[in-house]
Amino acid sequence: MNNTVQNLILIVDDNPTNVKVLFECLKSAGHRVLVAQTGESALEKVQLVSPDLILLDVMMPGINGFETCQHLKASQSTQDIPVVFMTALSDTEEKVKGFSVGAVDYITKPFQREEVLARVNTHLQLRNLTRKLEQLVSERTYELTATLEKLQDSQLQLIQNEKMSSLGNLVAGVAHEINNPIGFISGNLDQALIAVQDVIECLRLYQQEVPVRETIQKKITEVDLEYLIEDLPKMLNSMKIGCDRIREISTSLRTFSRSDTDDKVSADIHEGIDSTLMILSHRLKANETRPEIQIIKNYCSIPKVPCYLGQLNQVFMNILANAIDSFEEANQNSTYSEIVENPNVITISTATNHQQMIISIKDNGYGMAPGIKKRIFDHLYTTKPIGQGTGLGLSICKQIIESKHQGQLTVESELGKGSLFTIILPIV
């Protein structure tokens, strides 16, 4: 049997005559041959070189063939090497025991050349076929894994696009319904304020030029006219401020959900972060269990960045919302006064090195254990109770930053000491 790549066969036998016969037989058939005279020597050799087949004698000094085979099968590096025992024709008990410890076959003594080569070639062929099958399985497993990852990415992309599309449609409708009446009210308030000032001036002139009768004076006292004259412009100004606030919220909603998934646009990242904070402002305010969550902004002067701003805002939303959730978990065993002494703080910092923009979002909340931190970006992994978390948030965030923007999203966290999320985006 002449092979392009010669098979290596290890003969383990302390009988020189047996070794010589087998060596010449196998060598003439085109195999490479290695010899060991004891079980101990064989175990040492297989640590240095991996034979394709081992011919193992049963009776040897030191550890016998059965013990040697057991050692081979117990080691992960040698357990797949086929072992063929060499035994006398009448040793049925030894043959059975050989199979029980892991041998694949046996060769009877005295050796017959044709039998030796037939059994050796059969097991070498089986060995090679097994290797090819393992390789095919490995390749197919790799292909299936890659396909699964692509399917998961596609699923995340579909979910993300659907969420952004739904949010964009909702905001467009809300903005349309809000902006028209707000514009009408705001414009009329300006005119109303002017009209009220004119009416007040007329009242002042009447007070100066016309004598006030007793019934009129009684009504003036009853309605507290001086207070009304002073307070009515203030009320109108408050209404104007309220309209402006609603307009700001509407603008923030449009900025947050900007539907720009087809092409990148140059955008102000600070504007995106601020719009997200506006959306979350109701969760940042003080309540009966804790004071207001403090927001510290360490913004540097940064250029506009080509990005999908709507999707980036989704990343900011997920990270900031998780930080607020972390505070709620950390505050469970703290009193209001204790939280006042150690306030909940989210620090948002931006920096640039002319090639990249670095956005850091740090909180001093509950933090994460190492096991949770390791899996935090995994698909469908969530630490929230059933019905409260989908396991898609941070997984989608990582895809948005790394796949859509060719950036990086990392997290540093320690249980009880908060978390730091770092987003790196290429400027060009």
Q: What is the C-alpha to C-alpha distance for residues 349 and 423, in angstroms, rounded to an integer?
A: 10
Domain contains 25: yes
Domain contains 283: yes
Domain enclosing residue 47, as ranges: 8-111
Domain contains 128: no
At which residue do the structure tokens 């009210």 appear?
185
The two structure tokens encoding residue 428 = 């060009």
Examine the fold and report which residue of 84, 111, 138 is the final residue of a domain before the chain moves on.
111
At which residue do the structure tokens 């057991």 appear?
70
Examine the fold and report which residue of 56, 86, 111 is the final residue of a domain before the chain moves on.
111
**What are the tens digits of pLDDT across the range 379-389?**
655 555 444 44
pTM assigned to the model: 0.49
Q: How far is CA 97 from CA 3, 59, 105, 387, in A?
A: 33, 13, 11, 58
What is the predicted pLDDT for the residue at 264? 81
Domain contains 354: yes
Examine the fold and report which residue of 94, 111, 128 is the final residue of a domain before the chain moves on.
111
The two structure tokens encoding residue 83 = 């072992």
Domain count, the chain: 2
The two structure tokens encoding residue 284 = 């940042």
Domain contains 190: no
Domain contains 253: no
Q: What number is the average pLDDT over the span 358-371?
A: 89
- 282: domain CATH number? 3.30.565.10
Q: What is the C-alpha to C-alpha distance for residues 396 and 399, in angstroms, rounded to an integer?
A: 5
**What are the tens digits of pLDDT across the range 246-289?**
777 676 666 665 554 557 888 899 988 988 888 888 889 888 88
What lies within 8 Å, CB to CB, of 285 at 6+ separation is: 292
For residue 408, what are the β-bridge partners? 424
- 103: domain CATH number? 3.40.50.2300
Q: What is the C-alpha to C-alpha distance for residues 329 and 317, in angstroms, rounded to an integer?
A: 18
What is the predicted pLDDT for the residue at 386? 42
Domain contains 86: yes
Domain contains 197: no
